[in-house]
Structure 1
C-alpha cells in the first residue's frame, strides 16, 4: 500500500519571491504616502500657485476621485490583459504625473497632475496586490506578504504627513511630487526582470455597462462624501452626489446579474468572506485614517502644535502599524483570520475610546502617543485579517478582481472617513463652539464604528477544513 505524503505549506521565501516582495512593497508604500503627503503643504501650495482658499480641497479631492473611482475597473482590466503590464503602465504614469506636478505653474496644471496620480494609483494598487497574492501560495507565505504590505501601506499613509512637512519646511512642496520620480524609474527598471506576467488564460469580453455604472457610481459617491465633509451632509450638492452614487451602484448590481462576462460576478459578491470581509475592511480604513484627522485638529487647534510637530507625533502611530503588520501573520496562524479581525478591532476600539479623555494641557500628549500606538497595532491586525479573508479561497484567475475589491474598499474607506468625522465635529461644535468638545464626540463615534467592525467580523463563518 502506497502512502501519499502531504506537503506542508512553504514557510520560507525563495530568492525571487523576496525580490518580488521588496519591489511590490516599495511601490505600494509610495502610493500610500501620496494619499497624505500634500495635506500639510496645502496652504503653501495655495500661496505659491494662486489657489483660492475655497479651492484648496480639490488638490486632495481630485486625487481621491480618480483613485477610488477607477480601482475596480483597472483591477478587472489587469485580470484580462496582464497584471504586470498594467503595473508597469501605472508606474510610468505615476512617474510622469509626479514630474508634471512638481513643475506645475498653475492650479489647472497641478490638478491635472493630481488626477493622473490618482489614476496611476487606481492602476498600480490592485495590479500590484494581485501580483503579490499570485506570487505567494495561500497560507503562511501569503499571510506574511499581506501583513508586510498592510503595515507599509498604513505606515505610508501616516508617514506621508511627516515626509510632507519635512520636505515642505526644508526644501519645497514641489519635492513632495519629485520624490516619486526616481522611485518610479527604479521600479520600472527592475520589474521586468523580477515580476512574472499573470493573467486570465481565456480573455472574456469586457463588461461595458458594468464598467460604466460602477465607475460613475464610485465617482459620484466619493464626490458626495468630499462635499459633505466641506459643506455638511445637508448640502444639496453632497446629497445629490450620494443619491446619484447609490442609484448607479444599484444599477451596477442589476447589470452584473445579466452580463455574460460580468465585471464583478454576483457569485463572488455573495461569498461571506468577500462581502463581510470588505465591509470590515471599510470600517478599519475609515476609522483609523479619520482618527488621524481628528488628532490633527486636537494637536493644532487645542494644543497649538505646528504642522511639522503634528506630523512627527503621528510617527508613533506609524510605528504601531508596522508592529501590527509584522505580528499579524503569527496572530492569524494562531487564531485564524476571523478571530484576528475581532481582536484587532477590540484593541483599536479600546485605544480610540481612551482618547475621549484628552484635555487642554500639553501633558495629555502622552495619552495620545500611547493610545495611537496601541490603536495602530490593533487596526493593522484588523486590516491584515481583512486582506487575508477577502482574498482567500479564490482561484488565481479571480485574484485581480478580489484584490481590486479590497483596494476599492481601502480607498473608499480612506476617502469617506474624514468627511464623516468632519461632519460629526462640525455638528457637535454647533451646539458648543469648542474644538475639544467636537473632537471628543467624534472620537466616541469613531470608537462606536470600530465596535461595529467587531459585529461584522463575528458574522464571518470559520472555513471548513476542506476549503
Structure 2
C-alpha cells in the first residue's frame, strides 16, 4: 500500500544483496533469507549498539542526580531538569525526525545524530555549570530523537519482513527494555566506583566506534523526488509532543494536582487537534492520516504505549518498595532487577519464534495475560514467605512476557508498509515507546501516593495498590487487543 505523499526512493546498495533487496516490490511480507550474512551481523551490531546506548541514557543518571547536583551546582528543585530536558527533546522531536529520515536519508541522519551525541556527551562530561550540563542534555535528547527512528528504520529496511526482521526486532526490543535496569545498575557502579562523568564519556567512546564502522556497512536510502517538508504539521506535532511530555514529567515530579501539569496537557491536546486539521488540509502531509487509520498502526502503537508504561512503572514501584520498605540502597535495588534484565533478553530471543508460530496479535494478547499473572504475586510481596525469591521469579516472567508484547508491537506497527514509509512507521513506534516510558511512572506514582505511599508507614499499601492497578491494565489490554488488532499471517516459506 503506497500513498501519494510518499517520495520515490533510490536504493544505494553496498553489495549486501545480489537481488531482491528490501526496496524491491516483493520484499514486504516475504520471508527473505533464513540466515544473516557477515555484513548483516555487522549492520545489526552497529544499529543495536547505538540504540542501546541512547536508551540507557534515559536512566543512567537517575541514581547520580544528588552527586551531580553537588558537583555542578544544581539546587534540589533544579535536579529534575537533568532528566526532563532530555526526555522532552527525545520524545518531542522523534516523529519529526522519523519523517525527516524518510525524506532526506536515514543513514545520513543516523550518522549525524551519533556525531551530535558524541559532542553533547563530551560537553556534558566536562560541564562545570548547570546551564552547560542542561545544554548537553538537550543536545543528547535531540540526538536520541534523530538516531533511534533512523536506526529503527535502517533495521527494518535492511532486513526484509519475515524471520530475519523478527529476530532483529527481538534483539532490539530486548536491549531497549533491558536498558532501563542496565542504566540504573551502570549509573550506580560508575557513580560509586569511578565518577558520574563517565556516564557521559562512555557515549563518546561508543560514538567514535559507530562513526568508524557505520559509514562502511550501512546502506543509504535517499529520496529521488523530495517533496517539501510539511513545516506547519512538523512544528505543530513537535510542540504538541513537547508540551505533553513536559506535562507528564511535571505530574511525576510534582503531582497531578499541579495546575502547570494540566495546562501543558490541555495545550498538547489542542495542538494535536490542530495537527489533524493541518494534515487533512495539506497536499503532502507529514503523517498521512490513512496510515493512522490502519488497525495495525493505530492499535499496534497503543499496544507499545501500554507495554512500556506497565513494565517501566513496575520497576519504579518495586524500587520504591525495596528502598522505602526493605531499606535497600539505590545500587542494591538496581542489582535486584538484574533478573528482570535477563528476562527481557530471554523474551527478546523467544519473541520471534512465538510470533512466527502464533502471529503478532496472539503474541501480544498472550504476553499481556502472562504479564498480568506475573504482576499479581508482587501485590502480596509483604505477606509471602521468601518474598525476594518471589520478586525475582515474578519479574523474570514479567520481563519475558513484556518483551514478547514489545516485539509483537514493533512487528505489527511496521509490517506491510513500503520502505519509503518505514521512517514514519518507526518514528511512530519510537514515539509510542517514549510516551509509554514517560506516562507509566507518573500515573502509577499518583495512584501509589493516593493510596498512602506518601505517608510514612503506608508505602507498602500504596505500592501494592498501584501494582494491582498495573496488573488490571494488562488484563484490560489483553481483552482490548484480542478484539481490536487484526489477525496477521506470515507467508509460507519457499
Q: In the alignment, is the contact (CA less than 8 A) between 1:340 and 1:385 conserved in 2? A: yes
Indicate yes or no: 2:171 matched with 1:148. Answer: yes
Indicate yes or no: 2:64 matched with 1:16. Answer: no
| 1:105 alignment counterpart | 128
Alpha-carbon distance between aligned partners in 1 of 2:103 and 2:120, rounded to the nearest angstrom: 25
The count of corresponding residues between Structure 1 and Structure 2 is 462
| 1:139 alignment counterpart | 162
Deviation at 1:432, TM superposition (A): 6.4
Alpha-carbon distance between aligned partners in 2 of 1:144 and 1:63, rounded to the nearest angstrom: 30
User: 2:221 aligns to what SS in structure 1?
Assistant: coil
| 1:164 alignment counterpart | 187
Alpha-carbon distance between aligned partners in 2 of 1:465 and 1:127, rounded to the nearest angstrom: 26
Q: Among 67, 72, 75, which residue is 1:44 paired with?
A: 67
TM-score, with structure 2 as normaliser = 0.91
| 2:90 alignment counterpart | 67
Q: In the alignment, is the contact (CA less than 8 A) between 1:320 and 1:377 conserved in 2? A: yes
Deviations 1:387-446 (CA, angstroms, capped at 9, x unpaired): 000000000000000000000000111111111111111111179651111101111111
Alpha-carbon distance between aligned partners in 1 of 2:385 and 2:131, rounded to the nearest angstrom: 41
Q: 1:193 to 1:365 in 2, by over 3 A?
A: same
Deviation at 1:465, TM superposition (A): 7.3
User: 2:424 aligns to what SS in structure 1?
Assistant: helix
Q: In the alignment, is the contact (CA less than 8 A) between 1:344 and 1:381 conserved in 2? A: yes
Alpha-carbon distance between aligned partners in 2 of 1:361 and 1:344, rounded to the nearest angstrom: 25
Deviations 1:58-88 (CA, angstroms, capped at 9, x unpaired): 1111110000000000001100110000000
Q: What are the equivalent positions in structure 2 for 1:13-412 lying under 5 Å apart?
A: 13-359=36-382, 363-412=386-435
User: 1:36 aligns to what SS in structure 2?
Assistant: coil
User: 1:359 aligns to what SS in structure 2?
Assistant: helix
| 2:6 alignment counterpart | none
Q: In the alignment, is the contact (CA less than 8 A) between 1:424 and 1:442 conserved in 2? A: yes
Q: 1:148 to 1:431 in 2, by over 3 A?
A: closer
User: 1:199 aligns to what SS in structure 2?
Assistant: strand
Alpha-carbon distance between aligned partners in 2 of 1:202 and 1:213, rounded to the nearest angstrom: 25
Q: In the alignment, is the contact (CA less than 8 A) between 1:199 and 1:397 conserved in 2? A: no
| 1:3 alignment counterpart | none
Deviation at 1:361, TM superposition (A): 8.8
Q: In the alignment, is the contact (CA less than 8 A) between 1:313 and 1:369 conserved in 2? A: yes
Deviation at 1:176, TM superposition (A): 0.8
Deviations 1:183-241 (CA, angstroms, capped at 9, x unpaired): 11000010000101013332111101110110000011011111111222121100101
Q: 1:60 to 1:362 in 2, by over 3 A?
A: farther
Alpha-carbon distance between aligned partners in 2 of 1:465 and 1:228, rounded to the nearest angstrom: 42
Q: In the alignment, is the contact (CA less than 8 A) between 1:83 and 1:198 conserved in 2? A: yes
Alpha-carbon distance between aligned partners in 2 of 1:180 and 1:229, rounded to the nearest angstrom: 27
Deviations 1:334-381 (CA, angstroms, capped at 9, x unpaired): 010111101111111111122101118994221111111110000000
Deviations 1:244-276 (CA, angstroms, capped at 9, x unpaired): 011101111111111111110000000000000
| 2:476 alignment counterpart | 452
TM-score, with structure 1 as normaliser = 0.96
Segments of 5+ residues of structure 1 without an aligned counterpart are 1-6
More helix by share: 1
Q: Among 459, 466, 488, which residue is 1:463 paired with?
A: 488
Alpha-carbon distance between aligned partners in 1 of 2:383 and 2:139, rounded to the nearest angstrom: 42
Q: In the alignment, is the contact (CA less than 8 A) between 2:94 and 2:149 conserved in 1? A: yes
**Which segment drifts farther, 29-38 or 196-205?**
196-205
Alpha-carbon distance between aligned partners in 2 of 1:362 and 1:208, rounded to the nearest angstrom: 59
User: 2:131 aligns to what SS in structure 1?
Assistant: helix
User: 1:294 aligns to what SS in structure 2?
Assistant: helix
Alpha-carbon distance between aligned partners in 1 of 2:50 and 2:489, rounded to the nearest angstrom: 35
User: 1:198 aligns to what SS in structure 2?
Assistant: strand
Deviation at 1:110, TM superposition (A): 0.9
Deviations 1:31-69 (CA, angstroms, capped at 9, x unpaired): 111111011111111111221111211111111000000
User: 1:303 aligns to what SS in structure 2?
Assistant: coil
Alpha-carbon distance between aligned partners in 1 of 2:277 and 2:158, rounded to the nearest angstrom: 34
Deviations 1:104-144 (CA, angstroms, capped at 9, x unpaired): 10111111111111100000000000000000000111001
Alpha-carbon distance between aligned partners in 2 of 1:307 and 1:430, rounded to the nearest angstrom: 18
Deviations 1:144-175 (CA, angstroms, capped at 9, x unpaired): 11001000111112211000000000001111
